[in-house]
Structure 1
Amino acid sequence: MKILITGVAGFIASHLCEYFLNETEHEVVGVDGFVREELQIIGTRNMISFLHHPRFTLIKENMLQLDWTKRLADVDIIYHLAGIPGVRSSFGSSFSEYVNSNILATQQILKACRGTGVQKLIFASTSSVYGEKIGQVSEEAELSPLSPYGITKQSGEQLCRVYRVNDGVPTVVLRFFTVYGPRQRSDMAFHLFIRRMLADEPIHVYGDGTQTRDFTFIQDCIQGTAAAGLRPGLIGETINIGGAERASVNEIISRLETLIGRKAKVIYTGTTHGEPKHTWADISKASRLLGYKPEVTLDKGLPLEMYDLMKLYS
């Protein structure tokens, strides 16, 4: 079977590619235009373990300029993980980049899937589409994103529905909840906190630090994501991919202090603009349909991310 993964140099996609090459016999085609500046620097590092694997092919091209008809000719499963992430920057002048990567590119690939032999397209969405909610959030909850980023991902979900209903494109939507672990993006909180604490530099926390997140370790995320493509059926489903443990930002800092052996220099600043106070995934559907069972707690996952960063910055 041939699997195509967009955004392959990124955090989640590179781990997914690694999984398929190491744990299965499938052929993998990775697509990445390296449109984010960070990926132009770290993309090769993310792919170092599989870049020269005999069952891996890299297509280094912008998705909006790719001849998808040619590339999808013999593809069985697509994981569409490419996109511009991040809540705060989506409010600024770079919003057009979010539109191009998260909406226009998604429409291009969905259009190209019509009439092909593609068996399934898995679209990577986010918990940001839910907005502010109380308690565990199921997939049936009303969508009310608080940021332009969340709106672009909701638009991607709706495009999947439109092309599935009207053209029979076999889509599945996964909503990821705060994925962390080795190779995490440098703008994410864990990466920033660990790097600054190791350097004995102050860390900046938006709001008062009492906001909580459903933290999902990367290997748990990959377990659910891979299953969404490999398990039969599931067409038209939307599924939460959450973690094994929730915690507040202040609790994370306390755990990192214990792990690193150093008191954090915390500066509380600004507000959690565009972000919900709490996130908490109801993963009962993922458990039922994917056999999904996240197992990595923060006490296990945080050291793994820290060791990865220590190697990167040493």
Structure 2
Amino acid sequence: MRAVVTGAAGFIGSHLCEHLLSRGDEVTGVDAITDFYDPARKRRNLAPLLDRAGFAFLRGDLLDLALPPLIADADVVYHLAGQPGVRGSWGREFAVYLERNVLVTQRVLEAARETGLRRLVFASSSSVYGDAAAYPTPERLSPRPVSPYGVTKLAAEQLCETYRAVFGVPTVSLRLFSVYGPRQRPDMAFARLVAAACSGLPFRLYGDGEQSRDFTYVGDVTTAMRAAALSPWTGVANLGGGGEVSVRQVITLLDRLGAPVHVTRSPARPGDARRTAADISLARSAFGYRPVTDVRTGLAAMLRHEHALTRGPEDRRTSRELLGHRNAH
């Protein structure tokens, strides 16, 4: 299967590229390498992929690239590129979220329509639900996001549904619930907790610690994305980890894993939902989704990765080598 992965240098995107290659797919990764967080992390995510057979990388902004030629030979496009983060989406930065989450998605959909793409898998977010009216939350519940980020992800998701209904573009939108694992974005809670545990520096806890999430391991997500791409099903589905865990419980679990965290407290931040919990029965029936990684196992993998980074040699490839590299399929 020939795949294009947008946002390939990111946390989930780089894991997805690895998974697809391991299954024998040919992958073209695309990423603008924005500076939302340290671009060196993204280059490090890419480094293991660059010399693998069947992988090609293109650095570019999806608003500027000619997309039809890029996806013309693809069987599936996994559209993961976008501007992440709830807390940064307020105020002036909202324009960036509109551009990278909504306008970019519309361009990808137009290219899919023009080329007759066989499959488009879009990475949506549980942030579309906001403070949901029911838990576990089913897809039929009306979304009511509580952050501008959630608004833009919902708008992009609804664009996918519109192109599917009007033009027959075969789209699957997956509402991802708090994805974690090695290489997680440094602003996210698990990454900050693991970094604090390994460094001895304090962890800033926003709120009372009783806020809960349906944490979902990245390996389960990438497996589900490929399964959704191979399935004939189209529509919108939740991808959750199978159960809620509070931040306070995660801190206790890290202590039991031998990685205690010193906590400092700050007020809750606007836009953060109090809890999330996914009803995953639709994904289970539509494309066989079954998360297999519990939080303890996933956290242990993150701790091992963090220790390896602090102890192992730095990758010494130059930015030019990393970003100018391109393998032929």
Q: TM-score range by the shorter chain?
A: over 0.9
Quote the residue 1:149 is aligned against: 149
Quote the residue 2:211 is aligned against: 211
Bigger mean CA offset, 217-226 vs 142-151: 217-226
CA deviations on 1:121-149 (whole Å, 9 max, x unpaired) are: 11110000001123200110111000000
Quote the residue 2:303 is aligned against: 306
Counterpart of 1:227 in 2: which secondary structure?
Answer: helix
Quote the residue 2:256 is aligned against: 258
Q: Is contact 1:36-1:84 (8 Å) kept?
A: no
Unpaired segments ≥5 residues, structure 1: none
Match of 1:246 among 236, 244, 257: 244
Unpaired segments ≥5 residues, structure 2: 312-329
Task: Give percent identity, aligned residues only.
Answer: 41
Counterpart of 2:140 in 1: which secondary structure?
Answer: coil
Quote the residue 1:220 is aligned against: 220
Quote the residue 1:139 is aligned against: 139
Q: Does 1:46 align with 2:45?
A: yes
Q: Is contact 2:139-2:238 (8 Å) kept?
A: yes
Report the Cα offset of residue 158 of structure 1. 1.1
Quote the residue 1:2 is aligned against: 2
User: TM-score with structure 2 length normalisation?
Assistant: 0.91
Counterpart AA for 1:184: Q
Report the Cα offset of residue 288 of structure 1. 0.6
- The total of aligned residue pairs comes to 310
Quote the residue 1:17 is aligned against: 17
Counterpart AA for 1:210: E
Aligned counterparts of 1:151 and 1:226: Cα–Cα separation in 2: 26
CA deviations on 1:24-52 (whole Å, 9 max, x unpaired) are: 2x211111011234352112211222212
CA deviations on 1:257-314 (whole Å, 9 max, x unpaired) are: 221343x321121114212111000001111111111111111110101111122233
- List 4+ stretches of structure 1 deviating above 4 A: none
Within a 5 Å distance, the mapping from 1:1-314 to structure 2 comes to 1-24=1-24, 26-38=25-37, 40-133=39-132, 134-231=134-231, 233-235=232-234, 237-262=235-260, 264-314=261-311
Q: Is contact 2:194-2:303 (8 Å) kept?
A: yes
Counterpart of 2:214 in 1: which secondary structure?
Answer: strand
Q: Is contact 2:172-2:236 (8 Å) kept?
A: yes
Aligned counterparts of 2:69 and 2:291: Cα–Cα separation in 1: 37
Q: Is contact 2:87-2:269 (8 Å) kept?
A: no
Report the Cα offset of residue 226 of structure 1. 1.1
Q: Is contact 1:5-1:81 (8 Å) kept?
A: yes
